[in-house]
Amino acid sequence: MIIAIDGPAASGKSTIARKVAKKLNYRYVSTGAMYRAITYRSHKEKVDVYDEKALARIAQKYSVTFVKKNSEQRVMIDGEDVTDYLYTPKVDSMVSFVARSVAVREQLVKQQRSLSKAGDVVMEGRDIGTVVLENADVKIFLTASAKERARRRTKELESRGHYCSEERLIRELVNRDKIDSTRKVSPLTKACGAFSIDTTGKTIEEVVDLIMQIINESSASAKAK
């Protein structure tokens, strides 16, 4: 089956998608990590986020790949393991501008579709159910209040050694959501037929169980047809 999970910043997509993939023994793909890798590389090459031509050059020149190291998924670009640089405040502040680029999206969507070719994949992002995998068997749209999302992201950043106040994070998340939802190409929006889950006040396990229930019901009804 092909499972698409979308939602705004820090709504829990990565943690939940990773767990669902593990339960199903499916491949897990974080498309956000791919946009972040291109952003990291653009920053390294001092590319202006408004310079569409330069962004296109980066996206066409380098492909983003995932490799397993010590049973952990690592993100590579141009042979460099960039996993530890993807969630820095710098990349956070730039990524939504890079993700507005038509050329960057074209290249990454191509790579994402090819990653899903073999089937049995859980892919998460902003446009998976609407654009990348429009024919996904199950589509999930995760949401959570801005306060809860900022609280979760503060904890996550702290565990990586970055410190940021919750108030500042709320401002940044809301700003990123605004850019992601109002851009011209593939804006963040709930796909037709997607199941919406508000994760505010729910534990990770509760959300994973809910999604597994949806997947099992969809699979049973597909078999009955």
- Pick the piece of the chain touching ligand CDP (CB under 6 A) from 119-127, 160-168, 191-199, 202-210: 119-127
127 binds ligand CDP (CB under 6 A): yes
Show the binding pattern over residues 11-30: x = contacts ligand CDP (CB under 6 A), - = does not: ---x----------------
* Given 41, 126, 139, 152, the residue binding ligand CDP (CB under 6 A): 126
Instruction: For the chain, state the CA radius of gyration.
Output: 17
d(CA 72, CA 28): 11
Kindly give the interhelix angle for 204-224 and 13-24, rounded to the nearest 10 degrees: 50
- Residue from the set 55, 116, 154, 180 that interacts with ligand CDP by CB under 6 A: 180
Contact present, 137 and 191 (Cβ < 8 Å)? no
- Stretch binding ligand CDP (CB under 6 A), from 9-17, 40-48, 53-61, 114-122: 9-17
- The residue among 10 and 121 lying less far from ligand CDP, judged by its C-beta, is 10
In this structure, what is the dihedral angle of CA atoms 68, 72, 78, 84, given to the nearest 10 degrees? -170
Q: Is 38 in the site for ligand CDP (CB under 6 A)?
A: no
Q: Does 101 bind ligand CDP (CB under 6 A)?
A: no
- For the bound state, the minimum distance from the C-beta of residue 201 to ligand CDP, rounded and expressed in Å, comes to 19
- Among 107, 133, 176, 207, the residue binding ligand CDP under the rule CB under 6 A is 176
Of residues 56-95, which lie at the interface with ligand CDP (CB under 6 A)? 95
Selected from 3, 17, 28, 125, the binder of ligand CDP by CB under 6 A is: 125
Q: How many other CB atoms are there within 10 angstroms of residue 93's CB atom? A: 15
| Sign of the Cα pseudo-torsion (85, 91, 95, 101, in order) | negative
Listed as own residue / partner, the contacts of 55-58 with beta carbons closer than 8 Å and 24 or more positions apart are 55/98, 55/101, 55/103, 55/104, 56/101, 56/103, 56/104, 58/104
Q: Give the footprint of ligand CDP on this chain (CB under 6 A).
A: 9-10, 14, 31-32, 35-36, 95-96, 99, 125-128, 176, 180
